Amino acid sequence: MPVEQIKDIVDYGIIGLLLFLSFITFAFAIERYLYYRGVKLEDYKHQKALELDLSKRLATIASIGSNAPYIGLLGTVLAIILTFYIIGDQQDTINPGEVMKHLALALKATAAGLVVAIPATVLYNALLTTVDRLLAEWEILNDKGHNSI
C-alpha cells in the first residue's frame, strides 16, 4: 500500500470516522436532553416502559465513548507503520523532518479519539443521572397511597 494511501486512511478514514461519531454523540445527547425535558411521567403506567423510553440511544453514546480511543489508536498504529515504512525507504538519508511529521500524524489520531471519547463519556454519565432522577420521580409519583408500614 503506498504511503499516501495510508496517510489518507488516517486523515480521512480514522479522523473522519471520529468526527462522524462525535456528531452522532452530540445529536443523540441533544435529542435525549430535549426528550427528558418534555417527558410526562404521569403518562407511564409501567416502570419498564418508562425505562425503555428513557434509555433509548444511551447505549450508542456509551459505545462511542468507550470505543473512540481504540479507533484513535488504530490511526496511531497505521501512522507509525507509515513512519517505519518511510524510514525503511530512506536507508541512505533519513529525513528527521519527514519522520517527525508522520509521528505527529500518529498523535493527531490518538488526540482525536480522546477528544471524541471524553465528551461522549461525560454526556452519557450526565444523561444516565437524569434517567435515574426521572425514574425516582416516577416511583414517588406512583407510590402515593401505597406506603405500607
Grid cell at residue 52: 425503555
Phi-psi region of 147 (alpha: psi -120 to 50; beta: other; left: phi over 0): beta
Domain assignment of residue 41, given as a range: 3-142
**Per-residue pLDDT tens digits for 19-74:** 999 999 999 999 999 999 999 999 999 999 999 999 999 999 999 999 999 999 99
Place of cell 425503555: 52
Counting the structural domains of the chain, the total is 1
Q: Is residue 149 part of a domain?
A: no
Which residues touch 74 (CB under 8 Å, ≥6 apart)?
A: 14, 109
User: pLDDT digits over 77-108, tens only?
Assistant: 888 888 888 788 777 777 778 778 778 878 88
Of 98, 105, 97, whose CA–CA distance to 80 is shortest? 105
148 within some domain: no
Distances in Å between the Cα of 128 and the Cα atoms of 1, 22, 48, 63, 120 are 44, 18, 16, 14, 12
Residue 36 within a domain: yes
